[in-house]
């Protein structure tokens, strides 16, 4: 009763205040008012609420998309032609090396270009798109140095390490910049960006194969010509790719992301998908040559793969915005796993061409789909670069793991049966992991996420 009486007695105390109490109240630190909150939001824009929503289009946004597509044309598009280098090195400069030794060159490049995002992503969030400028210089320098290489360790430093560093400073900032301009249409925009790598994957294998196998240019000038083609494209990207949001001022790395189940499951799914999908990219020309196909025509298979993946990146991107990014990413992983398992069944020219088309379409969604999927892990657009960089850095260990293991299996068994079983099963695991990730979302397994 005494407690009840005190509660009931609070109202008279409120109506009969002492003026001195008002003075004391004024001397206390006041609660943050609406005006002060808005002022703090303007001074330190740590949340997405302080900024207008993504424009979903407009001249500036589409210029960022085109500039980012030029980056992926020049970087991942060129990397998609590594199967040409793999076949060429095995019969020329590095013919005394095993297939897995040569595969290490490409796998190291792929690993660094995505793992370097752990630094490039936070750099973009804190300082903006200027980070692509040193990346462009480093990448062009790496190509020119590769054209001079003769020994294995030289290829490892130039084509493996230096090119990987340059590409890492270009690709993750490009992904993050586009994500700031698009929200509801993000998957479609990222699909258009990554389709630049598909177009590059058409141009570079055909051009390289023609110059390396059917001309007198030689290796050095063939690579230099590619560098001269890439230089103006990266120059255009430097001018057009810009951040929409001001830099964030919080910690460089966001380690709390690794306590989120959804983020960890998507990293695991991306890892397994990367292991499986890279097998045809690295070994399809070699597989075709073992089946009796002429080397130049075998190199064209990569161009066919990338031509088909252009549609496989754009169309699933549009569907992902409508039916859910995890749904489309998971379906792409499962379909790619099945197709990789069938690679050893393509035994003649017609079969290899059809296989290249099917694989290109199904695998096209994986890289753009992974980036779009990881972007759902944060609502704050100022942290997108950091989330993408950290996620891709961990998942990219697949490139250190997959191609060299496939090279060992190829060297050990002399065929691709074991290679396709290993890679296909892991890609299926990746697709299943994406579907499992939906259980960690509010909409659940059957939701449109």
Domain borders along the chain are: 53-242+255-440
User: How would you class 446 by CB atoms within 10 Å of its CB: exposed for 0-12, middle for 13-18, buried for 19 or more?
Assistant: exposed
Please report the pLDDT score of residue 41 as a whole number.
39
**Structure tokens belonging to residue 4:** 């009840």
Whether pLDDT at 179 is above 50: yes
Name the percent of the chain in helix, strand, coil, to the closest 5.
Answer: 80, 0, 20
Cα–Cα distances (Å) from 312 to 200, 270, 307, 318, 328, in that order, read 15, 17, 9, 10, 11
Cα–Cα distances (Å) from 28 to 22, 23, 243, in that order, read 10, 9, 41
Whether pLDDT at 96 is above 50: yes
Cα–Cα distances (Å) from 62 to 68, 69, 109, in that order, read 10, 10, 29
Top mean pLDDT of 16-25, 242-251, 367-376, 422-431 is at 422-431
**Average pLDDT over the chain, rounded to whole?**
80
Three-state DSSP at 135 gives helix
The closest alpha carbon to 206, from 98, 321, 77, belongs to 77
Please report the pLDDT score of residue 232 as a whole number.
95
Mean pLDDT over 345-372 rounds to: 86
Q: pLDDT tens digit string along 38-95?
A: 333 334 444 444 667 778 878 888 999 999 999 999 998 888 778 788 878 888 888 8
What is the full DSSP assignment across 323-353?
H-HHHHHHHHHHHHHHHHHTGGG--SHHHHH
User: Class of 53-242+255-440 per CATH?
Assistant: mainly alpha
Please answer whether residues 234 and 170 qualify as being in contact, where contact means their C-beta atoms are separated by less than 8 angstroms. Answer: yes
Angle at 445 between CA 266 and CA 324, to 5 degrees: 65
The closest alpha carbon to 332, from 387, 231, 340, belongs to 340
């Amino acid at each position: 009763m005494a407690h009840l009486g005190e509660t009931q007695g609070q109202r008279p105390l409120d109506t009969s205040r002492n003026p001195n109490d008002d003075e004391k109240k004024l001397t206390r630190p006041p609660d943050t008012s609406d005006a002060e909150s808005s002022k703090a939001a303007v001074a330190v824009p740590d949340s997405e609420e302080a900024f207008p929503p993504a424009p979903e289009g407009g001249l500036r946004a589409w210029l960022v998309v085109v500039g980012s597509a030029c980056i992926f044309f020049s970087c991942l598009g060129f990397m998609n032609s590594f199967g040409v280098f793999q076949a060429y090195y095995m019969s020329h400069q590095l013919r005394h090396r095993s297939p897995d030794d040569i595969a290490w060159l490409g796998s190291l490049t792929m690993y660094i270009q995505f793992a370097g995002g752990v630094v490039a992503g936070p750099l973009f969030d804190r300082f903006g798109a200027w980070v692509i400028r040193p990346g462009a210089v480093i990448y062009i320098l790496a190509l020119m140095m590769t054209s001079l290489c003769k020994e294995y360790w030289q290829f490892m430093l130039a084509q493996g390490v230096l090119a990987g560093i340059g590409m890492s400073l270009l690709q993750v900032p490009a992904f993050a910049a586009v994500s700031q301009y698009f929200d509801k249409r993000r998957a479609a925009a990222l699909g258009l960006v990554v389709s630049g790598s598909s177009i590059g994957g058409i141009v570079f294998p055909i051009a390289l194969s023609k110059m390396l196998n059917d001309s007198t240019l030689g290796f050095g000038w063939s690579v230099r010509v590619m560098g001269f083609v890439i230089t103006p494209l990266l120059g255009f990207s430097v001018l057009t790719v810009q951040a929409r949001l001001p830099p964030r001022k919080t910690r460089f790395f966001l380690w709390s992301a690794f306590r989120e189940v959804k983020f960890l499951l998507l990293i695991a799914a991306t890892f397994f998908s990367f292991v499986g999908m890279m097998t045809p990219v690295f070994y399809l020309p070699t597989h075709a040559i073992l089946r009796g196909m002429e080397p130049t025509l075998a190199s064209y298979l990569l161009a066919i793969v990338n031509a088909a993946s252009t549609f496989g990146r754009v169309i699933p991107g549009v569907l992902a915005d409508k039916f859910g990014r995890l749904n489309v990413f998971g379906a792409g992983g499962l379909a790619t796993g099945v197709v990789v398992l069938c690679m050893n069944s393509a035994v003649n020219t017609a079969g290899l061409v059809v296989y290249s088309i099917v694989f290109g379409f199904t695998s096209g969604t994986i890289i753009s789909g992974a980036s779009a999927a990881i972007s759902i892990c944060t609502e704050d657009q100022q942290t997108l670069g950091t989330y993408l960089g950290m996620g891709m850095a961990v998942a990219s260990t697949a490139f250190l793991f997959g191609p060299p293991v496939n090279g060992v299996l190829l060297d050990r068994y002399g065929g691709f049966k074991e290679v396709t079983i290993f890679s296909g099963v892991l890609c299926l695991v990746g697709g299943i992991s994406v579907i499992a990730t939906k259980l960690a979302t509010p909409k659940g397994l059957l939701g449109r996420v």
